Amino acid sequence: MGELRQRGQIWWIRYCRNGKREEESSGSTKKSVAIDLLRVREGKVAIGSRVTAKMHRLRFEEAAADVVNDYRSNEQASVAEVERRIRKHLRPFFGGRRLSAIGPADVRQYVVERQACQTMTTAAYSYTLPTGRVVSIPERTRTIGGVSNGEINRELSLLRRIFNLAIENEKLLHAPYIALLKERNVRKGFFEREQLAGIQQHLPPALQPVVEFAYITGWRIPSEVLPLQWHHVDFAGGVVMLDPAVAKNEEPRTFPLTDDLRALLEQQHREHLDLKRRGMICPFVFVRMVAKGRGGTKSPRAIKRFDKAWTSATIAAGVPGRIPHDFRRTAVRNMVRRGVPERVAMQLAGHKTRSIFERYNIVSPSDLRAAATQLSGLIGTKLGQFDGTFASAAGESDEKP
């Protein structure tokens, strides 16, 4: 049986778990609150749940650190993004609180404050120039048009993970209900073939094959296309392979070499062999020549990002606002429109679930125009096909001989 003790004005409870006495403060001056807490603790002990007084004292900082360690131990590429969201958004609001005291109302208040945010702050940082001079950049704050529901949902999903991992680690008994917001910023961009050609004309030569590869395969440019190496390309077998460690869904993937894809990779391979003959070896399929220092000798380096070049090319090509991820939607649409079975298209593009695949396999304006063309003349409205009205036609068909 448990016991109640009053220390000052606060009621404490005592109970036994595995033969060891546990003490815990109810945090209340009301005896009834302590009685309810004791019943909960004894009930958990009775069903074999691990119950300690530390569960009630677990704070947000400790639980958030557990999530960061979990991401690092599993070698997740997004660990830096997780740390940023905790440091800039979640910790300033939930920091110092006990996890057991955070409820749905607190989460809703967090959402309201994030939606009302109109500024973004960039932390101060410094870097060293080749000359040895250190340049310090102060903290900067700029005005933004608001925080999107999608960004807030990523933060709420991380908060869910913090609670769930605490329960898995037996540091918490329950988690509050955390509802996600409705996202209305779903992108539906597509690239037609002439638009791709227009963008390629305004991109540096080293980047042109990158976007064409993405247009054909639908693979993710930052994480799957740019890290591609020559040991992933099998010309004899006619496939391009993706390692599970590189793929976002952590599953191996292969893409058959179509005529266009083979021609693209063979051209890249010729350039690779030419660099090799000149004593410059780089394992990556897509590289650009980078000089070491001003006026230095150029050597091949893997392409990491090309945000500025992409923005300039889209503006010059007359399609501002398009993003490289639109190639993924375009490739999925092209596969389905060319008769590739949806299950096969999911495997080629790397979609693990049908719900995500359906978000990419959406209808484009050109699809609607093609459908309208196919439906033309369905009821004989073209000139010379039908002279009367629907009513007269129906009356004639109803007349008895």
Residue written as token pair 């369905």: 378
CB 60, CB 87: distance < 8 Å: no
Assigned domain for 400 exists: no
* CB-count exposure of residue 34 (10 Å: 0-12, 13-18, 19+): buried
Mean pLDDT across the chain: 83
User: Which of residues 250 and 224 earns the better pLDDT score?
Assistant: 224
- List the single range of 4-13, 37-46, 78-87, 245-254 with lowest mean pLDDT: 37-46
Written as six digits, the tokens of 136 are 């310090």
Condensed to tens digits (0 to 9), the pLDDT of residues 25-69 reads: 877 888 888 888 777 776 665 545 555 556 667 899 999 999 999
Does one domain contain both 234 and 318?
A: yes
Does residue 258 form part of some domain? yes
Predicted confidence at residue 310, as pLDDT, reads 95
Residues 98, 163 contacting (CB under 8 angstroms)? no
For residue 88, give the DSSP letter.
I
DSSP annotation of 89 reads: I
Return the structure tokens found at 43. 């009930």
Percent of the chain with pLDDT over 90: 41
Residues 234 and 346 in one domain: yes
Judge if 34 and 78 occupy the same domain.
no
pLDDT of residue 390: 45
Number of domains in the chain: 3
Asked if 150 contacts 183 with a C-beta cutoff of 8 angstroms, the reply is yes
pLDDT digits (tens, 9 = 90+) for 271-286: 999 999 999 989 999 9
Instruction: Please tell me the predicted confidence (pLDDT) of residue 33.
Output: 83
Q: Which amino acid is at 272?
A: H
Start-end of H helices in 74-188: 79-85, 91-94, 104-115, 149-168
Confidence tier at 190 by pLDDT (50, 70, 90): confident
| pTM as predicted | 0.60
Task: Give the separation between CA 210 and CA 288, rounded to whole angstroms.
Answer: 11
| Domain co-membership, 120 together with 243 | no
Please check whether residues 233 and 154 belong to one and the same domain: no
Q: Which domain, by its residues, includes 265?
A: 193-366
CATH number of the domain encompassing residue 269: 1.10.443.10
Residue 173 has pLDDT above 90, yes or no: no
> Does residue 161 sit in the same domain as residue 261?
no
Which of 19-33, 344-358, 360-374 bottoms out in mean pLDDT, i.e. has the lowest?
360-374
Residues 110 and 258 in one domain: no
| pLDDT tens figures, 96-108 | 999 988 999 999 9
Q: Looking at the structure, tell me whether residues 208 and 351 fall in a common domain.
A: yes
